[in-house]
């Protein structure tokens, strides 16, 4: 395995990362677009423009930039799988997280559109929508506002947060031939 450090908001860095995969392995079979950020929960009218812009640039444009470079590589190779990480926030809304909710709804829509567009080219594109997951983002949110944990768990059928390994397992399965 190898890694390439890239900022998903910079299309040239994503192009470089995809090219590195092709140079190293000959082609790109699977991509898991998993970069995402949130913000300190606050009422919509109190959030500054830069908060909205930063979240949308990372969570939506990051997926857009990634797929714009991954899809041509997969078209050349004749197949591939792309998994975009959304959230249950892409399916339902909760208060005080409007930009995050909007971004994850956009990821779902972008994924659906791309899935239809490239299915006949043997490229499977899916999104996963995990609930609250034990990540640095959630840990920071809970430190800033401990009372939000009850709200988060109330929107979860199982009274616990997911572990990142559970999300990785879902992405790995969607990448496999078993998900064809």
pLDDT surpasses 90 at 31: yes
Whether residue 15 is predicted with pLDDT greater than 90 in this model: the reply is yes
Confidence of residue 180 (pLDDT cuts 50, 70, 90): confident
- Which one is the CATH code of 11-179: 3.30.70.20, 3.40.50.720, 3.30.2320.20, 3.40.50.410? 3.40.50.720
pLDDT-derived band at 135 (thresholds 50, 70, 90) equals confident
State pLDDT tens for residues 70-124: 999 999 999 999 999 998 889 988 888 899 999 999 999 999 999 999 999 999 9
The CA-based angle 114-116-122, given to 5 degrees, is 90
Provide the residue ranges of all domains of the chain, joining segments of one domain with +. 11-179
Is residue 130 very low, low, confident or very high in pLDDT (cuts 50, 70, 90)? confident
At residue 2 the predicted structure's pLDDT band, cuts being 50, 70 and 90, is: confident
pLDDT at 115: 98
Residues sharing a CB contact under 8 Å with residue 120, sequence separation 6 or more, in sequence order: none
Report yes or no: 58 and 7 within 8 Å, Cβ to Cβ. no
Per-residue pLDDT at 160 exceeds 80: no
Catalytic residue among 3, 100, 116, 118: 100
| pLDDT above 90 (res 162) | no
Give percent of the chain with pLDDT exceeding 70: 100
- The answer to whether residues 71 and 123 touch, using CB atoms and an 8 Å cutoff, is yes
Q: How many residues does the chain have?
A: 180
Return the pLDDT at 95.
80
For the chain, strand residue ranges (E) read: 30-33, 80-85, 123-128
Whether 152 has a pLDDT exceeding 80, the answer reads: no
Q: Is 118 a catalytic residue?
A: no
Question: What's the whole-model pTM score?
Answer: 0.89
């Amino acid at each position: 395995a190898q890694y390439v450090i890239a900022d998903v908001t910079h299309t040239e860095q994503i192009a470089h990362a995809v090219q590195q995969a092709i140079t190293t392995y000959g082609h790109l079979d699977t991509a898991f677009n998993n970069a995402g950020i949130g913000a300190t929960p606050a009422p919509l009218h109190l959030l500054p423009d830069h908060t909205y812009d930063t979240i949308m640039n990372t969570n939506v444009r990051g997926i857009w930039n990634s797929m714009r470079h991954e899809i041509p590589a997969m078209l050349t190779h004749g197949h591939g799988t792309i998994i975009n990480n959304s959230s249950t926030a892409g399916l339902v809304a909760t208060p005080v997280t409007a930009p995050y909710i909007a971004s994850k709804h956009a990821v779902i829509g972008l994924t659906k559109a791309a899935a239809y567009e490239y299915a006949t080219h043997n490229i499977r594109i899916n999104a996963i929508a995990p609930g609250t997951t034990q990540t640095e983002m959630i840990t920071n949110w809970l430190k800033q506002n401990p009372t939000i944990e009850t709200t988060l768990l109330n929107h979860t059928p199982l009274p616990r947060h997911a572990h990142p390994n559970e999300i990785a397992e879902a992405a790995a399965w969607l990448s496999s031939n078993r998900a064809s």
